[in-house]
A = this chain, B = another copy of it.
């Protein structure tokens, strides 16, 4: 675990990096292969030359968990393009930096109150919407707006008025008995839990509007740390709820 980094690391100067947030249960990182696969996709889009194998990353994560003697925890894996002189264009000489940090596990509430973010929108026209990069400020703005409104999270629209995702979680909406989640081309991050729910629980991808969410029979947010059922949107209560069905989804992800 590196605790300090250089002030000229491009991860810091330009947000030129990627991260993964991985749940740890009983000292085991969950869905690690999926996280490493997404990380590789991000490395590809950002064109980082990172030669460390998945096996070595996995070993480093296990060593970190063991050295902190944690059973339930959250591991964050951060990869930056590394230190470089001033300038936007990456230097061929940059060598990526990997940081692994561990935080205590915090209990995730079962429910969440959301708003529709007004201050900013997710840029579905950028490849960054498909990777988990260090450019997280739109989510920070949306979360501050949610906190101002007394809500727990905010749903971001994309630039075409479709729902994209929450500040750090994918969105799922039940409409006429079928669960839907926004497609990646609408600005949804390809979440790990999202992929598993599409694969194993029959969730379908479809563009969704604010009206779809307001008229949903139920809705929830997912990320690698858990599922939270949506109670209300902009202070309007959802018509009905499906806590049992969402518990089933939780089991599927375990």
Contact = CB atoms under 8 A, between A and B. Distances in A.
Please give the count of copies of this chain that the complex contains.
Answer: 2
A137 B14 contact: yes
Interface string A92-136: 000000010101000000000000000111010111100001111
Contacts of A147: 89
A141 interface: yes
Given A4-B5, A5-B4, A119-B127, A144 B13 contact: no
A86 B136 CA distance: 13
A126 B135 contact: no
Interface string A170-201: 00000000000000000000000000000000
Contacts of A5: 4-5, 7, 12
Given A88-B167, A126-B123, A140-B16, A7 B101 contact: yes
A19 interface: yes
Nearest to A80: B12
In this complex, the interface size class of chain A, counting residues with CB under 8 Å from chain B, is 35 or more
A14 B134 contact: yes
Contacts of A9: 12
A8 B139 contact: no
A128 B5 CA distance: 25
A109 to B, nearest CB: 14
Contacts of A167: 88
Given A89-B144, A139-B88, A168-B88, A2 B12 contact: no
Interface string A1-28: 1111111110111111001010000000
A127 B135 contact: no
A104 B186 CA distance: 43
Contacts of A45: 141
A182 to B, nearest CB: 17
A74 interface: yes
Given A136-B16, A137-B135, A90 B144 contact: yes
Shortest 3 CB-CB contacts between residues of A and residues of B: A15-B15, A123-B123, A135-B135
